[in-house]
Amino acid sequence: MLAMRAKILLPITILSGLITGIWPAGIARAESGYDAWLRYAPLTAAAKAKYKSLPASVVVLGDAPVLRTSQDELIRGLRGMLGRTFRAETKLPQESAIILGDFKAVREVAAQWRAPVLASGDGFWLTRAHVHGFDCIIIAGATDRGVLYGVFHFLRKLALEEDLSNLNEKHEPYAPVRWVNQWDNLDGRIERGYGGRSIFFDNGTVRADLSRVADYARLLASLGINGCVVNNVNANPRMLASDFLPQLARIADAFRPWGVQLAISVDFSSPKAMGGLETFDPLDLRVAEWWKEKVDEIYRQIPDFGGFLVKADSEGRLGPSSYGRTPSDAANALARALEPHGGIVFYRAFVYDHHLDWRNPKNDRARAAYDIFHPLDGKFDDNVVIQIKNGPIDFQVREPVSPLIGGLEKTNEAIELQITQEYMGQQRHLCYLAPMWKAVLDFDMHVSGRATPVKDLVAGRVFHRPTGGFAGVANVGLDATWLGNPVAMANLYAFGRLAWDPNLSSSAIIDEWTRLTFGNDPLVVKTVDAMQLSSWHTYESYTGPLGIGTLTDILGSHYGPGVASSENNGWGQWHRADHDGVGMDRSVATGTGYVGQYSPAVQKLYETTAATPDNLLLFFHHVKYAYVLHSGKTVIQHIYDSHYEGTQRVKEYVRQWELLRGHVDEDRYAMVLARLKYQAGHAIVWRDAVCNWFLRASGIPDALGRVGHYPNRIEAESMQLQGYAPFDVQPAEAASGGKAVECAPPTQQCSAEFRFTRPAGWYELEVQYFDQNDGKSKFRVLLGDQLVDEWVADDDLPSAKVGSDTSTRRCISGLALRPGDEIRIEGTPDGNEHAAFDYVEISPSPE
């Protein structure tokens, strides 16, 4: 009878959980990843007991939208974690309460309470005080936003099960600018977005349903992010059309309750492209007037509008150079229109010539930002911020800090970091970027011979600038996980936390994120923290080590390996690898002179090969393959070894994650496992492509004999083929042996067969096949007549070609094989995808 009751009760409990959002602790909720770090999952009984004496009422002092949001959010969070519905009050009750309000309002109800001195806006103070004789918790903000940030901080403390008994914490943001950028196009696609289509736009208009936008603003606010540029820097002039502005106003309405300011990217040629003028010369009075009227029109509809982001004279975008004008002429024209309303212009320093002559060894794209903007220092208005990518090239896996960050003393600046993993595995590869960002933010530029870390320069603290800070290119989309993978959300989280406080450590941030995202189970926390913390270095090892650049296909997807794609073109992402050596000579003495853009102390670090750290050697110097690193290894052997080590580490991530089965909800467990397995296969594609390319270029073999020797592989082209035909893959290193087989029309089905000749035992069989995005071909693997696996190649990888972007691995584990066994791969093509595959690898099953 009891057992029967339990059976009936459980579904009712779950059902009521669904209705109220309250879940009993210990029952794994179905989780899509949508709630990210704001899950407010039920705490354990022990933790709940700790918070038993929390006051039952939440009083908000004031009725501004952000304050109302603060109260709702606090009640929502407490209900989720503690399973209790706190009372919402607008007046002090005759009992203890949690009081929310700005400093002034709190002071009015609690005469003896003294507001702290906080240097900058949006700070908050969490404390306890006696109010009308009752012990109260006070969440007070310097601004309404500060109150909301205080609420999120308080809820985070609960989720992390921290002690609240001696609550007394003051926090304030490091810098005023803490913005995200989205590269969303009006048709709904997102440039370099890997989490689905735009949450803002579809088919040329703003979406009717903006509930996702409000949820995004909530995530942003929980980190203290206060602005969002909603459209691509490659901006569509239509953004400024009069009939479009009311649509943008709807986005601003969705942001407002969360204290997030709306901003937009603008096409600098808009006065001409959509404004009806014959010019967009920033010094032409008609153009200035046009911007002024347009900005006034915007503010009439969006009074809290944040400002403009501008990409001009870059990658084909029109800019002031069309009229012989400078970036300061351009930025100031816009800034003067925005200034009366308190708006800001973010002018991107990503200005360079992408038709550089690669034959000239003195040409260097890395020099461009400093060469262009440093001479203009002091010429920008005070409401202009120069937005500078962290490195001088373009979000590569490792770059030195952009010298321009130390090159502006009389100009506001913001650092642009990329959350979306354009060059870092596009959310299919685990790559936690906080350690990289920290290395940048903590780097001392030694400007004027004093300690000037990047975080202080961009925050405007060194030269006492009125504004500045942090911009993160987020590119979240409609995918339930926002970024396309739950573990990639650690990067959005880390960006927000660092923008608020760049002194936080990568490990403290990931520890918070893991616990908020997956719960406080020590095994989960330890495992996920360790994987995330090592993942950037892992990614670097099997892609582009030693500062060479990511080595990806820079002319296309920026995803799979494409070593040669950087060379012999005007884009300037050169690594200059040839038969003798590799790397760009950027020294002052013999190279492009780029090193001379740094302060003397930093120049000393990079000018000579002897001083340069190994991890940036090839960014700064051209050396022979036999050059011996500080580590004692030659450059070529380091390239080989790091690729093998990185690949091995990803394989271990799979094993480590598998230990979490049952400790993480099934849905996210499976999602992350699938991604890690994929990554383990794609890391091998990277390893082989890069190592074989350098083996061919250098002619120097791998001392450990691994590169070019794959004893466990059976190449598809060497199998007995029926219907399948071999072909050359371009570039050759994108396939094992340079060849693959395909089942081209009109053939409907093909097979490739081989005989197993090794001793009897348990084996893993891996099929390396190509999953293009223009078809869904089918594969079957048969052992004799027994079907041992089948699958559809239906992933949406970023290419329609057979190559390193699409090369994918399917692992069939635990097969009992006997000498003489016939193994057959059958492929059924679909659309333009011809069920191509590369090889089969058979290795003994791990113990």
> Applying CB under 6 A, which residues contact ligand GCV?
183, 191-192, 232-234, 311, 315, 350, 394
> Residue type at 635?
V
Task: List strand residue ranges (DSSP E) for 525-664, in order.
Answer: 581-582, 623-624
Cα dist from 227 to 67, 71, 178, whole Å: 18, 21, 7
Q: What 8-state DSSP symbol labels residue 344? A: E
Least distance from ligand GCV to the Cβ atom of residue 231, Å: 11
**Of 169, 289, 315, 774, which is the active-site residue?**
315
Collapse the DSSP code of 270 into the 3-class scheme (helix H, G, I; strand E, B; otherwise coil) and give the result: helix
Cα dist from 486 to 429, 491, 518, whole Å: 12, 10, 10
**For ligand GCV, the closer CB: 192 or 776:** 192
Least distance from ligand GCV to the Cβ atom of residue 401, Å: 17
Please, how many CA atoms are within 13 Å of residue 516, restricted to the half-sphere of its CB?
27
Task: Write the DSSP string, 646-671.
Answer: HHHHHHHHHHHHHTTBTTB-HHHHHH
Asked about 553 being catalytic, the answer comes back as: no
Residue 393: which of 421, 369, 425 has the closest Cα?
A: 369
**For ligand GCV, the closer CB: 350 or 482:** 350
Residue pointed to by tokens 């090159």: 407
Contacts of 727 (CB under 8 A, 6+ apart): 739, 740, 741, 742
3-class SS letters over 109-143: HCCCCCCCCCCCCCCEEEEEEEECCEEEEEEEECC
* Long-range contacts formed by 782-786: CB under 8 A, 24+ apart: 782/823, 782/824, 782/826, 783/815, 783/817, 783/821, 783/822, 783/823, 784/821, 784/822
Least distance from ligand GCV to the Cβ atom of residue 777, Å: 30
Asked about 278 being catalytic, the answer comes back as: no
Is residue 731 reached through a cis peptide bond, with omega within 30 degrees of 0 on the bond before it? yes
Least distance from ligand GCV to the Cβ atom of residue 558, Å: 6
For the chain, the helix, strand and coil percentages under 3-state DSSP, each to the nearest 5: 35, 20, 45
Task: Write the DSSP string, 694-746.
Answer: HHHHH-PPPTTS-TT--TTEEEGGGSEEEB-EEEE-SSGGGSGGGEEEE--TT
**For ligand GCV, the closer CB: 198 or 541:** 198
**For ligand GCV, the closer CB: 272 or 558:** 558
Least distance from ligand GCV to the Cβ atom of residue 529, Å: 31
- Is residue 305 within 8 Å of 262, Cβ to Cβ? yes
Token pair for residue 67?
A: 């304050």
**Of 184, 339, 381, 422, which is the active-site residue?**
422
CA–CA separation, 477 vs 197, rounded Å? 5
Cα dist from 745 to 391, 712, 801, 835, whole Å: 47, 31, 16, 11
Q: Which residues of 627-637 are buried (b: 16+ CB within 10 A; e: fewer)?
A: bebeeebbbbb
Q: How far is CA 461 from the centre of its chain?
A: 26
CA–CA separation, 633 vs 620, rounded Å? 18
Residue 384: beta bridge partners? 345
Asked about 540 being catalytic, the answer comes back as: no
**For ligand GCV, the closer CB: 184 or 688:** 184
Cβ–Cβ contacts within 10 Å for residue 168, how many? 10
**For ligand GCV, the closer CB: 32 or 234:** 234
Least distance from ligand GCV to the Cβ atom of residue 440, Å: 17
**For ligand GCV, the closer CB: 613 or 798:** 798
**For ligand GCV, the closer CB: 415 or 516:** 415
**For ligand GCV, the closer CB: 153 or 192:** 192
Least distance from ligand GCV to the Cβ atom of residue 525, Å: 35
**For ligand GCV, the closer CB: 195 or 453:** 195
**Of 394, 479, 702, 766, which is the active-site residue?**
394
Cβ–Cβ contacts within 10 Å for residue 177, how many? 26
Q: Is the dihedral of CA 450, 456, 458, 464 positive or negative?
A: negative
- Is residue 145 within 8 Å of 500, Cβ to Cβ? no
**For ligand GCV, the closer CB: 29 or 354:** 354
Least distance from ligand GCV to the Cβ atom of residue 799, Å: 15
Residue 583: which of 536, 626, 616 has the closest Cα?
A: 616
CA–CA separation, 180 vs 735, rounded Å? 38
Least distance from ligand GCV to the Cβ atom of residue 685, Å: 21
Least distance from ligand GCV to the Cβ atom of residue 390, Å: 12
Q: Is the dihedral of CA 88, 92, 97, 100 positive or negative?
A: positive
> Residue type at 206?
V
Please classify residue 569 by burial: count the beta carbons closer than 10 Å to its beta carbon, then call 0-12 exposed, 13-18 middle and 19+ buried: middle
- Is residue 330 within 8 Å of 380, Cβ to Cβ? no
Least distance from ligand GCV to the Cβ atom of residue 219, Å: 22
**For ligand GCV, the closer CB: 234 or 467:** 234
Active site residues: 315, 394, 422
